């Protein structure tokens, strides 16, 4: 068996705001890293050699520890996926659009059928388009308003720089690369006009361009002046407006282009106000706007189409503290909103004419809901999704006028699944400051709290993203082997309103880590597990969470699972050249100018707080093409753990040299990483495979 790679250690130090810190593995950041995002082959040979050595060591050590368990788990995971799964067709004018998979296929096939019946037409075949690419992501397929063409956004590297092709849906002819170096979301103006967002030299989406497909001429219609703001573009469901949304993490602004008017330039609906957001939808003669202006948990207002500031905003749904309005969809005769109260979602339907409201809620202790807006605004059909940790996803159509509900699809688990075989519980943990933290628990129904079960605790806690209590077929390879699976709804998300996000951000970020530890201790207190038998698992910003709690309480964990982890937080938030750094200062704080922010981040940054103590086994992933969490964060953290930790527990660092932040995107390829992580988890927790 190979020995773990030993990284070169330099005596590099960084002085910042009169504070000096060591950074012995700073050399792992290739000065040419931006080029390596596009072509990983140009990575500095010394760095690439080290990463390949880590990858090879991880593969060899995993096989030695777990034998053929990853292959068996991969087969289990595949067996839970319906081979030819398809979505429920979504109508739009004369057509209904959907996607499906062919048996054994890795990528979706986007299709349509005549709405009144007829043969299927393949719009885009993802499998065919992926042939010959080491990495492939079919990010978006947007059909034109006249249904004659479709714009296809693709990434063949993993660096999230998308190229757009246009496919003629009558002839099948394709025009490749009509747009390059853009974000995946494109919007049709007229049938021959595309809007897209271009990335700048720092890989930040900051400019909206309009492309005339006939002439090939591009026109810049909007440029965001603030490097901390990101831009997106879409088309209103009414079809009348192109909507440009620009925002950082706590402020937003909307610009619109009226496709029925003579002015091709965008118009601002309301100027940006620090720490306030608004999101607008067009409905007939008005805007329907969800905003937290004077409403921390958001309210819904209306405004005239020609409004240019908030003086004409009129309350439609007033602010109710503690009830978070997550999203809204304006249908012709109804307004639908998705809201959350105490970590449970509900859908509320409002009749435009009468103002009457009714709620759609469900009986399980924890569940997830999602609204699928569809293509058409003037419809009486609401499509929504329901699932829980034990209940596969169900797709319903509900008549907005009568309330009649039809089950259109239930997720099929070919290898078999009975929700009655499992129990879902929603409990609360108490944080050190007295805050009540929601905790969702899934386990086999025949499992009793003996105080010694293995457990997995998953957490995220950032960007206001609330962890849904939804169904994932992948967790049952663990749960069926007696593992208790839990989700910690820690601060930094919005499960308990915007306050929940605010109290996990900036100077309050340590609350997120304390909440997670409290959830682990609650699992122990309830008798489900014990210290040393809990896997802590997080991805991206969730990797920051598990890296921090691994340093703070290494005794609690049986294994640390960190996928593409944001673990070099202090250095990353001090590097203005990185794509996400200026945009994320409102969330984490700016340690280049703010001493208090520096001290807070320095206090939890996983790389900067590794100690000479025993750590549990560690499983880490990274992608060389990742522009969100760069590969060197994980590489530096792993090197420092190897240097300082006082135990012999293994660290497996799986580096994907052909992918980015989301790893392999193939339907079954993705499961190989899931299977490897699960096999290592079962080994570390002492569970028979």
Of 74, 283, 328, 661, the active-site residue reads: 661
Select from 632, 619, 631, 637 the least CA-distant residue to 660: 631
What are the Cα distances from residue 671, in Å, to 69, 74, 100, 109?
Answer: 13, 6, 18, 19
| Exposure string over 414-443, b if 16+ CB within 10 A, otherwise e | eeebeeeebbbbbbbbebeeebebbbbbbb
Residue with tokens 């980015």: 660
Of 143, 626, 664, 678, the active-site residue reads: 626
Q: Which two tokens stand for residue 166?
A: 């246009």
- Packed helices 45-66 and 631-644: angle between N→C axes, nearest 10 degrees: 60
Q: 491 has which bridge partners?
A: 493
Give the other-Cβ count within 10 Å of 200's Cβ: 14
49 is catalytic: no
DSSP state of 87: P
Residue with tokens 């700016």: 590
3-state secondary structure of 186: coil
- What gap in Å lies between CA 283 and CA 240, rounded to an integer? 10
Q: Is the dihedral of CA 85, 89, 90, 93 positive or negative?
A: positive
Of 137, 540, 574, 605, the active-site residue reads: 540
Q: Which two tokens stand for residue 77?
A: 């995971």
Select from 229, 199, 196 the least CA-distant residue to 211: 196
- Is 637 in contact with 610 (CB distance < 8 Å)? yes
Give the H or E element holding residue 544. helix 541-552
| Pairing label, strands 109-114, 121-125 | antiparallel
Dihedral class, residue 493 (left if φ above 0, else alpha if ψ from -120 to 50, else beta): beta
Q: 653 has which bridge partners?
A: 620
- What gap in Å lies between CA 80 and CA 393, rounded to an integer? 13
- Packed helices 541-552 and 510-525: angle between N→C axes, nearest 10 degrees: 70
In degrees and rounded to multiples of 5, residue 44 shows phi and psi of: -50, 130
- What gap in Å lies between CA 612 and CA 336, rounded to an integer? 54
With a CB cutoff of 8 Å and minimum separation 6, the contacts of 205 are: 183, 197, 198, 199, 230, 231, 232
DSSP string, 562-624: EES----HHHHTT-TTSTTHHHHHHHH--TTT-HHHHHHHHHH-GGGG--SS----EEEEEET
Q: Tell me whether residue 217 is exposed, middle or buried, using C-beta atoms within 10 angstroms of its C-beta: 0 to 12, 13 to 18, 19 or more.
A: exposed
661 is catalytic: yes
- What gap in Å lies between CA 194 and CA 171, rounded to an integer? 20
Q: What is the 3-state secondary structure (H, E, C) of 298-321?
A: CEEEEEECCCCCHHHCEEEECCCC
Distance, C-alpha 327 to centroid of its chain: 16
Q: Which two tokens stand for residue 72?
A: 């068996």
Quickly list H helices, 24-81: 33-38, 45-66, 69-79
DSSP state of 342: T
- Packed helices 69-79 and 45-66: angle between N→C axes, nearest 10 degrees: 90
Q: Tell me whether residue 525 is exposed, middle or buried, using C-beta atoms within 10 angstroms of its C-beta: 0 to 12, 13 to 18, 19 or more.
A: middle
626 is catalytic: yes
- Is 150 in contact with 123 (CB distance < 8 Å)? yes
- Catalytic residue ranges: 540, 626, 661
């Amino acid at each position: 068996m190979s020995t773990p790679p030993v990284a070169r250690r330099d005596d590099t130090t960084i002085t910042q705001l009169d504070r000096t810190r060591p950074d012995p593995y700073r050399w792992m950041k290739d000065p040419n890293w931006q080029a390596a995002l596009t072509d990983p082959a140009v990575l500095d040979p010394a760095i690439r050699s080290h990463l390949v050595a880590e990858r090879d060591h991880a593969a060899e050590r995993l096989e030695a520890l777990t034998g053929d368990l990853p292959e068996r788990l991969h087969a289990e995971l595949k067996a839970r996926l319906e081979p030819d799964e398809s979505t429920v067709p979504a109508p739009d004018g004369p057509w209904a659009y959907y996607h499906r998979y062919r048996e054994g296929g890795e990528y979706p096939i986007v299709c349509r059928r005549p709405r009144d019946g007829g043969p299927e037409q393949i719009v885009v075949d993802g499998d065919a388009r992926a042939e010959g690419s080491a990495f492939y992501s079919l990010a978006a397929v947007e059909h034109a308003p006249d249904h004659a063409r479709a714009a296809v956004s693709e990434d063949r590297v993993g660096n999230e720089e998308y190229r757009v092709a246009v496919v003629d849906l009558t002839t099948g002819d394709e025009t490749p690369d009509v747009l390059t170096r853009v974000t995946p979301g494109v919007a049709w103006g007229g049938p021959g006009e595309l809007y897209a967002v271009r990335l700048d030299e720092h890989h930040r989406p900051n400019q909206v361009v309009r492309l005339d497909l006939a002439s090939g001429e591009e026109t810049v219609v909007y440029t965001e002046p603030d490097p901390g703001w990101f831009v997106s573009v879409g088309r209103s469901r009414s079809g009348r407006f192109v909507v440009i949304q620009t925002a950082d993490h706590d402020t937003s602004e909307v610009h619109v282009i009226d496709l029925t008017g003579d002015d091709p330039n965008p118009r601002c609906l309301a100027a940006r106000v620090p720490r306030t957001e608004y999101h607008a939808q067009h409905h007939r003669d008005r805007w329907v706007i969800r905003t937290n202006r004077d409403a921390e948990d958001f309210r819904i207002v209306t405004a005239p189409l020609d409004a240019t500031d908030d003086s004409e905003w009129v309350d439609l749904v007033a602010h109710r503290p503690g009830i978070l309005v997550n999203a809204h969809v304006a249908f012709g005769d109804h307004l639908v909103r998705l809201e959350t109260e105490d970590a449970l979602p509900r859908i509320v339907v409002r009749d435009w004419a009468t103002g009457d409201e009714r709620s759609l809620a469900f009986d399980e202790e924890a569940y997830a809901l999602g609204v699928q807006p569809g293509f058409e605004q003037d419809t009486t059909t609401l499509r929504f999704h329901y699932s829980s940790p034990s209940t596969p996803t169900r797709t319903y159509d509900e008549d907005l006028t009568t309330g009649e509900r039809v089950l259109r699809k239930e997720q099929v688990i070919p290898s078999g699944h009975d929700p009655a075989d499992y129990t879902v519980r929603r409990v609360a943990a108490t944080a050190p400051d007295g805050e009540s933290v929601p905790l969702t628990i899934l386990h086999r129904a025949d499992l009793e709290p003996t105080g010694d079960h293995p457990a997995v605790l998953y957490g995220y806690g950032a960007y206001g993203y609330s962890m849904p209590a939804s169904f994932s077929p992948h967790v049952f390879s663990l749960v069926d082997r007696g593992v208790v699976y839990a989700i910690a709804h820690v601060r930094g998300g919005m499960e308990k309103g915007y306050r929940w996000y605010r109290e996990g951000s900036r100077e309050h970020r340590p609350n997120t880590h304390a909440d997670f530890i409290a959830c682990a201790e609650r699992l122990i207190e309830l008798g489900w597990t014990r210290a040393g038998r809990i896997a802590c698992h997080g991805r991206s910003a969730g990797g920051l969470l598990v890296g921090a709690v691994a340093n703070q309480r290494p005794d609690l964990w049986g294994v640390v699972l960190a996928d593409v982890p944001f673990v070099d937080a202090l250095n990353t938030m001090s590097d203005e050249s990185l794509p996400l750094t200026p945009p994320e200062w409102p969330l984490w704080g700016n340690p280049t100018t703010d001493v208090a922010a520096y001290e807070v981040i320095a206090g939890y940054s996983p790389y900067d707080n590794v100690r000479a103590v025993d750590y549990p086994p560690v499983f880490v992933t990274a992608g060389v093409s990742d522009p969100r969490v760069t590969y060197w964060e994980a590489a530096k953290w792993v090197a420092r753990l190897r240097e300082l930790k006082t135990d012999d527990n293994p660290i497996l660092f799986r580096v994907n040299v052909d992918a980015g932040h989301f790893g392999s995107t193939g339907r079954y390829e993705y499961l190989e990483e899931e299977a490897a992580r699960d096999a290592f988890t079962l080994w570390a927790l002492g569970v028979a495979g």
